[in-house]
Structures are given as C-alpha cells and as structure tokens.
Amino acid sequence: MRDPRSLYELNVDVSVPPGLPLVAGLTGFADAGGAVAQTTEYLRETLETTSIATFDVDELLDYRARRPIMLFEGDHFTEYTPPRIELELARDELGRPFLLLTGFEPDFKWEWFTAAVLQLIDELQVASTTWVNSIPMPVPHTRPIRVTVSGNRDELIDTMSVWRPTTQVPGNALHLVEYRLVELGHPTTGFVLLIPHYLADTEYPSAAIAALEAISAATGRIFPTDALREQGRDFIARIDEQVAENGELAKLVGTLEGRHDAYMEGTTLRSPLTDEDGELPSADEIAAELEKFLAFRRSRDDEPPRGA
C-alpha cells in the first residue's frame, strides 16, 4: 500500500487544536430517508467551516457508476461541481470547534482510504470519532426514530441502542474505519438510524434531526435545527393526510405501531432525557435549563483572561 498521505492534501495554513471530536457522514450507501445527505449538507450550509484536507477523488470514484452532473445551456456547458471528500474544521451553534468529514463513499481503495483517515485522526489528536448511517426498517413514522449504536462507547450503546442484532451486513467504508479504530481503542461511535421503510426513498427531515441529536449526544456539540424541524412538521402533516385518505396505508401504519410499542415495552432502554421516574422534562423546564446554560456561557465569555 502506498503512503496514506499521498491520498489527501493537507491545508497546512489552518491550525487545528488537539482533542476535537470528529463527525463523519459519507453518502452513497443505503441512506434511507436521505439522513446522511441532509445532515452533512445542513451542517456545511449552516455552520462556519474551513477546509483541513481534501482527498484525491480520481483515486476513489468510479465515474461511470456515479456520473457527476453537468449543466448544459443551449450550446455549451456552464457548470460542473466535482465530487469531493473533505475534512473540515467546523464550529457548532455555540462556536465550539469539531472536525467534519463529508463527501461520497469511496468506490475504490478502502484500505488505503481507511489508513489515510486513521493517519489524520492520529496526527490531529482527535478525541473521538462519530459517524451516521441509516437503513429502512418496518417502523412507523408516528414514533420517534430509533438507532442502533455500534463502536466501543458503552454509555451511548446502553442508553440509545434499541436494536442489537447478530447478523451479516453489507459493509461500507466507514464500517471499515470504525472496525480499525475500535481495534486501536479509539473512542468510536456509529449511529444507524432506523427509518420507516415506506419513507426510505424520500428526503425525510426527521431523519436529519435524529442524526443531529445523536451526534450531539456523542460529541456535546449543539446544532441549529429550527429550519429542519419546521420542514419536518410540514412533511409529517402531508404524510398523515395521505395515511388518513388511504385505508390500506392506515392499516399498515397501525400494525407497525402495535409491533413497535410491543417491542419497546420489552426493552430496558431508558432515554437519557428522562428522569428516574421515566418522565420527560416539559418544554418550559428545557427552556429554563437552556437559558441558565447560555447565561453561564455569556458570563464566562465576559470574564477577563486569566493573568490579565
């Protein structure tokens, strides 16, 4: 195998503080509900980002299997957006930095790509790695989106992983990255969102919201989701209308609800948001806690630097 460093170009002009979490999402495999595509696009569009490393696309992409789209106007081509895999330094809604790896899943040279990612994780002294994926499942849209959690962070597996099968699955590139990281003992989490199978081919805003919530749980970073939540409410309203007008679809959803609820009654999973009695905090309680946190942060920001 060639030197992994030759697969990417590092931006040496950007200073990356050590100990940051890495968030990864690569499109091209199974992306039910468009969870990965929506999440990565939303993060890159709403957050401040700076390029850290760009990967050599010509080494990793099968152009004939996934042909890039080019815009043709009348008698000439006017636009071409090349495929990309890029590592960026990003900042969450509170300005806290993290690393973001996005782009397409490589078609070729997975071992080389994995070695390159592990090299970057080592050199940048990444504290933890979190990645997201989604698959279609026989679950209803009227219930919260659940996840299967992989990796080696037991606290997240114990509190969030609702389905823990023993099965063979078709792998993807980030599965291999996770496998190698766990071998090294690096804190690693993979979130697989379980998306209603009848919505798998749609852009399901709730899937992106669930992905961002999972990433927040793993990294402590906070992301703006107001726009996504508004889209999600409109999307669910349209789905509910279609269900109400279609008896067979309504029967299907009702059956899925029954199976889902029976399964959840038999699980010991407890949401990290509930108290000891299993009660969720009210909207007012959440708002009050958030206001206290923001007030504390503002007071810390107003303090003079130590030694001043």
Residue 98 counted as domain residue: yes
Q: Residue 280's pLDDT is what?
A: 47
* Residue closest to 194 by CA, chosen among 297, 124, 269, 244: 269
| Span of 29-38, 77-86, 212-221, 290-299 with lowest mean pLDDT | 290-299
Residue 300 counted as domain residue: no
Confidence of residue 266 (pLDDT cuts 50, 70, 90): confident
Question: pLDDT, tens digit, for every residue of 213-228?
Answer: 999 999 999 999 999 9
Residue 191 counted as domain residue: yes
188-196 vs 128-137, strand pairing mode: parallel
Count up the domains in the chain and report the number.
Answer: 1
| Span of 28-37, 107-116, 176-185 with lowest mean pLDDT | 28-37
Residue 105 counted as domain residue: yes
Task: Give dist(CA 39, CA 112) in Å, integer.
Answer: 26
CA atoms within 13 A on the CB side of 206: 20
Residue 307 counted as domain residue: no
Long-range contacts of 90-97 (CB under 8 A, 24+ apart): 90/43, 90/44, 90/47, 90/48, 90/49, 90/50, 91/47, 91/48, 91/49, 92/47, 92/221, 92/222, 92/223, 93/47, 93/222, 93/223, 93/224, 94/222, 94/297, 96/220, 96/221, 96/222, 97/17, 97/20
Residue 291 counted as domain residue: no
DSSP assignment of 239-290, as one string?
Answer: HHHHHHH-HHHHHHHHHHHHHHHHHHHT-----TTS-TTSPPPPHHHHHHHH
Contact 102, 88 (CB under 8 A): yes
Overall average pLDDT of the 265-273 stretch: 61
Residue 301 counted as domain residue: no
Enclosing domain of residue 95? 4-282
Question: pLDDT, tens digit, for every residue of 283-307?
Answer: 555 555 555 555 555 555 555 544 3
Task: Give dist(CA 98, CA 108) in Å, integer.
Answer: 27
- For position 93, which CATH number holds? 3.40.50.10900
Residue 305 counted as domain residue: no
Question: pLDDT, tens digit, for every residue of 179-212?
Answer: 999 999 999 999 999 999 999 999 999 999 999 9
49-55 vs 85-91, strand pairing mode: antiparallel
What's the predicted TM-score (pTM) here?
Answer: 0.85
